[in-house]
Copies of this chain bind each other. A is one copy, B any other.
Amino acid sequence: MAKNTNIRISLPAVCFVWQIAMIILFGVFIRYDEESDTHWIEHRRKKNISTNLENDFYYRYPSFQDVHVMIFVGFGFLMTFLKRYSFGGVGFNFLIAAFGIQWALLMQGWFHHLDEHDWKIKIGVENLINADFCVASCLIAYGACLGKVSPVQLMVLTLFGVTLFAVEEYIILELLHAKDAGGSMVIHTFGAYYGLTISWVLYRPLLSQSKHLQGSVYHSDVFAMIGTLFLWMYWPSFNSAIADHGDGQHRAVINTYLALASSVLTTFAISSISQNNGKLDMVHIQNATLAGGVAMGTASEFMITPYGSLIVGFCSGIVSTFGYLFLTPFMEKTLKIQDTCGIHNLHAMPGVIGGIVGAITAKGKLCGGYQAAALFVAIAFGLVGGALVGGILKLPIWGDPADVNCFDDDVYWEVPEEDENFLSRHPNMNHATSIPDV
């Protein structure tokens, strides 16, 4: 029954081989674009650009940094809620995001930005944002698997996830010409179904053996709120980061701000009404409050009107909270899908809502059709890709934990041990108190 979780060879090997591969591929393919290269001055002169401020850097850098915070602190801390998996939550998020952004620059570059003259990918700040976006889909998928996979499996999940993302994104944005500035479909729907399918393939029938570790403690819930709030606050930047300069970015911010505010209220309402005593559940507050941002991803730039945004947030907050209440337990029991963070409720359903909203509000019947087609592409890539990658991750070579050791940082981390001398000298200390012997 005991599994070998020693990753002393495999993790360093994967990290080194892949990082060296990145260096070689970057050496062959990646260069600065005309706005980040010293040729910028000539470019300015040639194009008669009057000021350095017209460098795309100044349009997008503040949004980029906000997105960057969402990826590393937002997703990272949102996954610290488990009582003994905070290291793994924030730490593995850090690892796979740092790898994923490099691979995303290459994959997205090959599909979207390959210069036909010299076969180089020219990168600037918009590429950095897109790389962060791409990685977000893999971090969403991690949410379904949190606590049940090894870091090596996560690296594999990310390698294939980024690859699938780049293809899917190419089909949706370049072939179908669909709009999806904030990625309701491309990022959230794809990422969620990718992760859920992997989790379904990796189903653990005896996961209840680690049930005692599947909950939070008081302070881990407060840590998770750091993640929630940075995601919530910066979501307007997420949905506007690559929107059109000028009114496009401006409108995307307003729409997202309103949708998020609205979903907070319906989340609190449903959370309270669902308990006998009206008590609120931190799981809902940490997650479903964000549904408005997800659901506004496709239509963020559209003239959806301020009250339209409120309605989107209103509905998605309700749907997402109901998901945590009824769907997650149903999926676990009936569909054999174990979804640690409830990504189906936070990303899959609101993402699909976002895709539908986009299809409805897109101008013209044809556009609406292409938007709907895009949604199906995202779902299909998630399901098929997840099944394939799940199959690979099922091989018994990746060092994943036994069912009884899931959700335990002790498997992959040196966890600090309490010093008993310290305790006995400070008997009144608040963190290191004792259990009455019965």
CB within 8 Å of B: which residues of A? 6-9, 11-12, 15-16, 18-20, 22-24, 26-27, 30-32, 35-41, 44, 50-59, 61-63, 65-66, 68-69, 72-73, 76-77, 80, 83-84, 86-87, 90-91, 94-95, 98-99, 101-102, 123-125, 128, 151, 212-213, 215-219, 221-223, 225-226, 229-230, 232-234, 236-237, 245-247, 249-251, 253-254, 257-258, 260-262, 264-266, 268-270, 272-273, 275-282, 285, 289, 303, 305-307, 310-311, 314, 412-425, 427-437
Contact = CB atoms under 8 A, between A and B. Distances in A.
17 contacts: A12-B272, A15-B265, A16-B265, A18-B265, A19-B265, A19-B269, A23-B310, A31-B305, A40-B246, A55-B246, A77-B226, A91-B280, A125-B253, A212-B422, A280-B412, A433-B435, A436-B437
A72 B310 contact: no
B55 A54 contact: no
Given A433-B433, A434-B437, 18 more contacts: A12-B268, A15-B272, A16-B265, A19-B265, A23-B307, A53-B53, A53-B54, A77-B226, A87-B222, A102-B258, A212-B419, A215-B419, A219-B219, A219-B430, A275-B414, A423-B435, A428-B435, A437-B437
B57 A250 contact: yes
A101 B257 CA distance: 10
Contact of A282 (B98, B232, B265, B414): B414
A278 B65 contact: no
Contacts of A279: 412-414
B303 A32 contact: yes
B280 A237 contact: no
Nearest to A28: B307
Given A226-B226, A233-B73, A419-B215, A262 B87 contact: no
B8 A273 contact: yes
Between A12, A24, A66, A213, the greatest number of chain B beta carbons within 10 A of the residue's beta carbon is seen for A12
A32 B416 contact: no
A329 to B, nearest CB: 16
Contacts of A258: 26, 102
Given A272-B8, A435-B434, A265 B35 contact: no
A229 to B, nearest CB: 5
A219 B251 CA distance: 40
Contacts of A234: 65
Given A35-B250, A36-B251, A212-B422, A8 B431 contact: no
A31 B386 CA distance: 42
A418 B436 contact: no
B73 A250 contact: no
A332 B129 CA distance: 43
A390 to B, nearest CB: 24
B72 A229 contact: yes
Given A95-B268, A99-B265, A432-B217, A80 B222 contact: yes
Contacts of A222: 80, 86-87, 90, 223
Contacts of A430: 83, 217-219, 416-418, 431-432
Contacts of A12: 268-270, 272-273, 278
A120 B32 CA distance: 41
